[in-house]
């Protein structure tokens, strides 16, 4: 195993790992500051912040010979016998000088900069900069330039790390951004007539180590230090990107990608990034409502009564058909199936409507936006298979109801956009009891005997299984609006279980009772578990 010596500490790295000195030092617990280097982008070594002293140790004699000059750690591969010194006087002085040079052209308008609080320039200046300025600097207002529909550029705040330029060339493959002029006059700009308008454009804002690129959707909405972040999973498509939901007082302000090497690496698409606004829509269904007959208006029902009256209504109607929405978590789907089967042991269980939009879209950097606009079709199919080996689709359910084989239907939705047309909804018109659980009113809710609210994205807890069979567990980030019980809470209570809804307890129960979900038994790492790999491992061992 190759050995790298970081600040006198020997660490071993994998024989076929290709690490640079920043990554190797990080393993030894030494953080080398850097602006331009990003693990997902090519190396340019232009910011000079990661300069360190390096050398090599002779394997035979053990003698260490150091390089006379500082070298960029991002560009220097860590090999067997590489010596890295990250905190010598020379390195510290070099960092302080880089910081000083960066600040000469910087507006220092931190009070009005959206990046303040999570800015690398601020952090590194605090850690590595000089206490006093030698230049006579006065704060000024940065020039602002519109570069696209989602992103705005504060020209003078830029430190020319070119991460954004490399991103558009290497990952999104659209190459809208470029560097104009030379030397001290260098600026980021767009090619004339080609605004930064691609489906990954929001990522350049995350990549920007300073406040030069601003997210128009988030600009001036909230200071970053007020927000709490919750590890979450994007529900926009079946890719299931790992994200952080950043929120304050039950209001979501923005979504940020969360690094997950198995799913989304460091990126998310703009559809997901800005696709959370519907959860704060004022037209959402809140409160449970029941209609005595199709001609009477909805009357609101207390949630405590919903548990018993809903069960009684469905029991009275006898033959039940249930659409388990692919927006539900594995735990919620399992409890819904259990509730349905406890009411009618022959209940038809089908996967709810699976929204599709266009084709899968893959970018040069390997990032894929899926056409299937729901996060958990595979999870729901897997759950239904535990109750009924024949997994029915939404169309099967509609024709089942059309043929008159059902007296009652329970349709779960939670779709962010309109999903059902009048013709399809008409199939459910003659049922004795129709339960609709959704975010927004639709032709179906107009016919509903029971109209129940659904939880929005970030308001539910549980596990989603993405298109690659990777199960990711997440917690509730924000509370739903008053009058909304998330599905999990309703089903938990309808099953007669005590206390608060506990997705972990349900997950353990599912994992213990089935081979296909056995991988969910233990603690689920933040990057998720692959359901298939764990099945193979458990069958061979």
The token pair that represents 159 in the structure block: 């430190």
Complex with other proteins: residue 18 or 223, whichever CB lies closer:
223
* Burial of 308 per CB tally in 10 Å (0-12, 13-18, 19+): exposed
The token pair that represents 339 in the structure block: 């509730």
Among 69, 134, 138, 182, binds other proteins (CB under 8 A): 138
Q: Per CB under 8 A, does 63 bind other proteins?
A: no
Window of 133-141, 256-264, 471-479, 487-495 that interacts with other proteins by CB under 8 A: 133-141
Q: Per CB under 8 A, does 140 bind other proteins?
A: yes
Strand order from edge to edge, sheet including 288-290? 299-301, 288-290, 450-453, 433-438, 408-412, 320-324, 348-351
Element (H, E) at 390: none
Q: Per CB under 8 A, does 126 bind other proteins?
A: no
Distance CA 477, CA 482 (A): 15
Q: Per CB under 8 A, does 109 bind other proteins?
A: yes
The token pair that represents 201 in the structure block: 């454009």
Q: Per CB under 8 A, does 191 bind other proteins?
A: no
CB of 185 to other proteins, least distance (A): 22
Complex with other proteins: residue 140 or 191, whichever CB lies closer:
140
Q: Per CB under 8 A, does 137 bind other proteins?
A: no
Q: Per CB under 8 A, does 220 bind other proteins?
A: yes
Q: String of b and e for 420-455 (b: at least 16 CB within 10 Å)?
A: beeebbebbeebebbbbbbbbebbbbebbbbbbbbb
Q: Per CB under 8 A, does 249 bind other proteins?
A: no
CB of 121 to other proteins, least distance (A): 17
CB of 195 to other proteins, least distance (A): 19
Among 18, 92, 223, 405, binds other proteins (CB under 8 A): 223
Complex with other proteins: residue 11 or 224, whichever CB lies closer:
224
Q: Per CB under 8 A, does 228 bind other proteins?
A: no
Q: In a 3-state reduction of DSSP, which class is residue 37?
A: coil
Among 8, 14, 111, 389, binds other proteins (CB under 8 A): 111
Distance CA 160, CA 139 (A): 19
The token pair that represents 82 in the structure block: 């590489």
Window of 70-78, 139-147, 344-352, 463-471 that interacts with other proteins by CB under 8 A: 139-147
Q: In a 3-state reduction of DSSP, which class is residue 9?
A: strand
Binders of other proteins among 374-403, rule CB under 8 A?
none
Q: Per CB under 8 A, does 483 bind other proteins?
A: no
Q: Per CB under 8 A, does 149 bind other proteins?
A: no
* Burial of 405 per CB tally in 10 Å (0-12, 13-18, 19+): exposed
Tell me the number of residues near other proteins by CB under 8 A: 15
Distance CA 262, CA 240 (A): 11
Q: Per CB under 8 A, does 312 bind other proteins?
A: no
Interface positions with other proteins (CB under 8 A): 109, 111-112, 138-142, 144, 219-221, 223, 225-226
């Amino acid at each position: 195993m190759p050995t790298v010596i970081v600040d006198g500490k020997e660490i071993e790295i994998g024989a076929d790992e290709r690490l640079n000195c920043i990554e190797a030092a990080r393993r030894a617990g030494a953080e080398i500051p850097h602006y331009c280097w990003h693990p997902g982008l090519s190396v340019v070594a232009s910011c000079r912040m990661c300069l360190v002293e390096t050398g090599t140790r002779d394997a035979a004699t053990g003698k260490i010979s150091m390089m006379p000059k500082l070298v960029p750690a991002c560009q220097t591969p860590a090999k067997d016998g590489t010596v890295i010194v990250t905190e010598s006087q020379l390195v510290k002085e070099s960092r302080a000088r880089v910081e000083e040079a960066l600040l000469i052209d910087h507006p220092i308008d931190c009070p009005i900069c959206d990046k303040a609080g999570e800015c690398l320039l601020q952090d590194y200046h605090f850690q590595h900069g000089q206490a006093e300025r030698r230049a006579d600097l006065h704060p000024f207002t940065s020039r602002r330039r519109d570069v696209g529909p989602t992103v705005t550029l504060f020209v003078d705040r830029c430190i020319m790390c070119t991460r954004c330029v490399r991103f558009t060339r290497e990952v999104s493959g659209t190459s809208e951004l470029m560097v104009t002029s030379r030397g001290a006059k260098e600026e980021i700009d767009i090619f004339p007539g080609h605004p930064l308008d691609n489906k990954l454009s929001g990522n350049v804002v995350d990549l920007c180590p300073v406040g030069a690129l601003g997210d128009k959707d988030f600009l001036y909405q909230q200071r970053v230090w007020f927000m709490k972040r919750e590890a979450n999973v994007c529900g926009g498509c079946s890719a299931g990107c790992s994200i952080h939901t950043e929120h304050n007082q039950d209001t979501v302000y923005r979504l940020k990608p969360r690094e997950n090497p198995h799913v989304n690496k460091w990126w998310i698409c703009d559809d997901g990034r800005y696709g959370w606004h519907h959860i704060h829509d004022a037209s959402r269904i809140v409160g449970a409502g029941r209609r005595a007959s199709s001609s009477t208006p909805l009357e609101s029902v207390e949630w405590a009564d919903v548990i018993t009256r809903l069960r009684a209504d469905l029991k009275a109607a006898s033959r039940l058909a249930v659409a388990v929405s692919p927006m539900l978590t594995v735990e919620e789907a399992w409890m819904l199936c259990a509730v349905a089967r406890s009411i009618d042991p022959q209940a038809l269980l089908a996967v709810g409507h699976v929204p599709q939009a266009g084709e899968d879209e893959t970018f040069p950097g390997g990032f894929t936006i899926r056409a299937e606009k729901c996060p958990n079709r595979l999870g729901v199919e897997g759950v239904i298979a535990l109750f009924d080996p024949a997994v029915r689709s939404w169309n099967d359910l509609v024709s089942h109801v059309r043929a008159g084989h059902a007296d009652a239907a329970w349709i779960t939705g939670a779709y962010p956009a309109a999903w059902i047309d009048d013709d399809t909804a008409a199939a459910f018109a003659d049922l004795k009891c129709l339960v609709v659980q959704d975010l927004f009113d639709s032709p179906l809710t107009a016919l509903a005997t029971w109209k129940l609210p659904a939880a929005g994205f970030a308001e539910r807890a549980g596990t989603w299984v993405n298109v690659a069979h990777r199960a990711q567990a997440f917690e509730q980030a924000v509370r739903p609006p008053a009058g909304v019980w998330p599905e999990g809470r309703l089903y938990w209570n309808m099953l007669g279980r005590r206390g608060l809804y506990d997705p972990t307890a349900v997950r353990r129960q599912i994992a213990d009772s089935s081979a296909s979900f056995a991988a969910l038994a233990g603690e689920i790492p933040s990057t998720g578990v692959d359901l298939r790999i764990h099945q193979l491992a458990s069958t061979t061992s």
